């Protein structure tokens, strides 16, 4: 409870938590671990819905698609993975970054995924074809975070180069 600061529940995991995300409908949350696992939890029952053996190294970022049907994960193993949230099935593994993937974010309409990497690049991915649509090399150090404007039109990236850059994005509605 944010008004009172009352703790509602603590989930205990077998290893350090390195990423968290809450589903758009608020019913689920996902946690990523330093051992490369992803666990999707149902909040109402506080039960584990999907345990996923996801990556070879730590999960650095996870994001739910806006419709809640897909989960994307980025890892220190340089890969991005797309997961079906109904079944837990791995849909695709992408390995286009030269270094660790540090951040992933879905666009507001869910048609694109942005990934920020230790290699200093942002890649934009088509979530249907799962192909790179653009590579942006605007930072000269690792990109720690990427985030889309919820109304669309812009993407922000934060980097170890001590800058935040705002990028114009164009997506068909």
pTM of the model: 0.92
Tokens encoding 139: 């930072």
Q: Cα dihedral sign for 117, 123, 126, 130?
A: negative
Of 80, 132, 76, residue with least CA distance to 99: 76
- Per the prediction, the chain carries an average pLDDT of 93
Q: Which helix (H) or strand (E) holds 154?
A: strand 154-159
pLDDT one-digit tens code per residue, 130-172: 999 999 998 999 999 999 999 988 999 999 999 999 999 876 4
Reduced to 3 states (helix: H, G, I; strand: E, B; else coil), residue 108 is coil
What CATH topology corresponds to 1-95? Thrombin, subunit H (2.40.10)
């Amino acid at each position: 409870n944010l008004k009172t600061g009352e703790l509602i529940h603590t989930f205990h995991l077998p290893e350090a938590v390195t990423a968290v995300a809450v589903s758009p409908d608020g019913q689920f949350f996902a946690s990523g671990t330093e051992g490369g696992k992803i666990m999707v939890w149902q909040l109402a029952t506080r039960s584990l819905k999907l345990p996923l053996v996801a990556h070879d190294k730590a999960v650095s970022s996870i994001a739910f698609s806006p419709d809640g049907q897909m989960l994307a994960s980025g890892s220190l193993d340089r890969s991005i993975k797309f997961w079906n949230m109904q079944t837990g099935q791995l849909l695709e593994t992408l390995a286009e970054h030269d270094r660790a993937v540090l951040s992933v974010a879905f666009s507001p309409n869910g048609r694109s995924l942005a990934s920020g990497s230790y290699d200093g690049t942002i890649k934009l991915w088509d979530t249907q074809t799962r192909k790179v649509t653009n590579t942006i090399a605007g930072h000269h150090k690792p990109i720690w975070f990427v985030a889309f404007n919820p109304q669309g039109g812009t993407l922000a990236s934060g980097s170890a180069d001590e800058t935040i850059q705002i990028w114009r994005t164009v997506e068909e509605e």
